[in-house]
Amino acid sequence: MAGPRVLAANVVRAVPRVMTASATASLWRLSAQAGRARLSLTRAPRHCLRVASYSSSAGGAASSPPPPSTLSSSRPATIEVNGKTYTTDEWYNVPQTVLALTGRKLHLQKDHPVAITRQIIESKFSTATYKRYNEFDPVVSTIENFDSLGFPPDHVGRARSDTYYINETTLLRTHTSAHEAELFRASASDGYLISADVYRRDEVDRSHYPVFHQMEGARVWDRTKVPNGDVVAAIYADLAKLPTHDVKVEDPNPPHHPERNPLQSKHHSPEEAEAIAAHLKRSLELMVVEIFTRAKQAAARQDPNYVDEPLRVRWVEAYFPFTSPSWELEVYYQGDWLEVLGCGVSKQELFINADQPQQLGWAFGIGLERIAMLLFQIPDIRLFWSKDERFLSQFTGVQDNLDKLKRFVPFSKYPACWKDVSFWLRSTSAAGGNTAVANVHDFHENDLMEVVREVAGDVVEDVQLKDQFTHPKTGRKSMCYRINYRSLEKTLTNEEANDFHERVRQGLVEKLGVELR
């Protein structure tokens, strides 16, 4: 976590989400994205650029040893997650606020919008083929989360600044793909769907939360089981059984590309990869068509003046360490292209390592909150965690009758309370004071976010870098962040906001070693 981290933090609002990706990853993303706008739910580009961490081939920060004490000063010797005890070590960086969410399982909570979204997606994949796994524990090994999927040792996704570690080899899964290898080995069905909570250290705003939910799916074929060993014919026969849809899908890319999106030519013929891709794309298009049709029906039911715009969907090339070729599916939504899922032809090494070398197939991963925010028009990702009846009651009965699906009607927001915090980063030469834990070379914005979350949790709506400069004489760097304190449950008194803010300021001194200005 040397120089690049600080540079990255510098550009936080300009090209923000490139910041956690390596130079290689960023360059790759930028070139791959040239010419196409990629925008987020909040219409700021960072949301999608954020995903560079799983779409990139390498990193740079992960192989360095953990810093001496970033945020681990009050580390418990053991922690419990879902009834199991784990021993921590100096890699531990999970705040209590995040740990407390490991038991919530929103994807399984009756009539919760995340669970409704899961159910709608599941409805497009037959139970006969796709076995459901919705109860996997969030604690996995680095092997499951990264190595088994071919993430290189220096991939940025492994960094402690991006991932919640319990100890050096145990973490809170960052994606549902962590369970792919195990399910390919078990080979209990021709396909599966997993839904689960996933954890990523991230910034704080209306569309980012350190915990969200993903749904993962895969479909495999077995060369030794298909008629006449003709896997291409078998896949096309399965494709023919799927319904069609009449949404126009833009798909200008070649089925594979030697540099950008290679065929696994050692393992798959072009015909095989194309058949898998065709089955994959139709399956996922049907799911997206279902979601957006339901969203439009809900809108039309509630707003008689609702103007139906035709759904626009496109496939774009992507990169994941565990699929090739790979794609992302984007949906045109309120004027921008929104990435909804990543997918591809599974890397054959996964099947080989799972002792199933005769199998081949596809996999995808989709974010449930991102879809639910569109489906229900939910404006703030924190709302998913709310226990407020004004939120939860709006979805009652929907899981038993999906035609009751309605858009979320916002209840009045409590007033915002903005407070700024300015501080000096310690340059290495100036270090040596007793709190010089962090300095100009290892300040990472996610660490600041973590302090804020640890102190104020859901009471913080948003944290933004307001200003920064480097002192021309001393070379010291100053940062100023603006924190928006706004509770979802009540009006904060000024004293309460001041108290949170004072504790944030002290937390920054104690945990990051900054000098308040």
Site size for Mg ion (CB under 5 A):
2
Q: Pick the closer one to ligand FA5 by CB: 88 or 177.
A: 177
Least separation in angstroms between CB 339 and Mg ion: 6
Residue 177 carries which DSSP code? G
Map residue 19 onto helix, strand or coil.
Answer: helix
507 binds, among Mg ion, ligand FA5, none (CB under 5 to 8 A by kind): none
Q: Pick the closer one to ligand FA5 by CB: 136 or 320.
A: 320
Least separation in angstroms between CB 499 and ligand FA5: 29
Q: At 516, list the tokens.
A: 């308040």
Residue from 95, 157, 191, 342 binding Mg ion (CB under 5 A): 342
Phi, psi of 44 (to 5 degrees): -110, 140
Alpha-carbon dihedral angle through residues 132, 134, 136, 141, given to the nearest 10 degrees: 80
Q: Pick the closer one to Mg ion by CB: 60 or 157.
A: 157
From the number of C-beta atoms within 10 Å of its C-beta (0-12, 13-18, 19+), residue 36 rates as exposed
| Distance from C-alpha of 198 to C-alpha of 214, rounded to nearest angstrom | 7
Least separation in angstroms between CB 328 and Mg ion: 6
Q: Pick the closer one to Mg ion by CB: 41 or 479.
A: 41
Least separation in angstroms between CB 362 and ligand FA5: 8
Q: Pick the closer one to ligand FA5 by CB: 50 or 511.
A: 50
Q: At 14, list the tokens.
A: 């300009």
Q: Pick the closer one to ligand FA5 by CB: 55 or 88.
A: 55
4 binds, among Mg ion, ligand FA5, none (CB under 5 to 8 A by kind): none
**How far from the centroid of its chain's Cα atoms is residue 510's Cα?**
29
Q: Pick the closer one to ligand FA5 by CB: 318 or 492.
A: 318
Q: Which residues bind ligand FA5 (CB under 6 A)?
A: 50-51, 54-55, 175, 177, 202, 208, 212, 214, 216, 320, 323, 339-344, 363-367, 369-370
| Distance from C-alpha of 248 to C-alpha of 171, rounded to nearest angstrom | 41
Residues 6+ apart with CB under 8 A from 28: 55, 56, 57, 319
216 binds, among ligand FA5, Mg ion, none (CB under 5 to 8 A by kind): ligand FA5
Q: List the 477-485 sheet strands across, edge first.
A: 460-470, 477-485, 417-425, 515-516
444 binds, among Mg ion, ligand FA5, none (CB under 5 to 8 A by kind): none
340 binds, among ligand FA5, Mg ion, none (CB under 5 to 8 A by kind): ligand FA5
- Residue with tokens 């809170």, as numbered in its chain: 172
Least separation in angstroms between CB 110 and ligand FA5: 22
| Distance from C-alpha of 185 to C-alpha of 94, rounded to nearest angstrom | 30
Greatest CA separation found in the chain? 77
Least separation in angstroms between CB 131 and ligand FA5: 16
Map residue 164 onto helix, strand or coil.
Answer: coil
* Nearest of 402, 333, 401, 403 to residue 370 by alpha carbon: 333
Strand partners for 285: none
Interface with Mg ion includes 198 (CB under 5 A)? Answer: no
Which residue lies nearest ligand FA5, judged by its C-beta?
A: 367
Q: At 183, list the tokens.
A: 């399910």
Q: Which of residues 42-101 bind Mg ion (CB under 5 A)?
A: 51
Least separation in angstroms between CB 305 and Mg ion: 35
Binding-site ranges for Mg ion (CB under 5 A): 51, 342
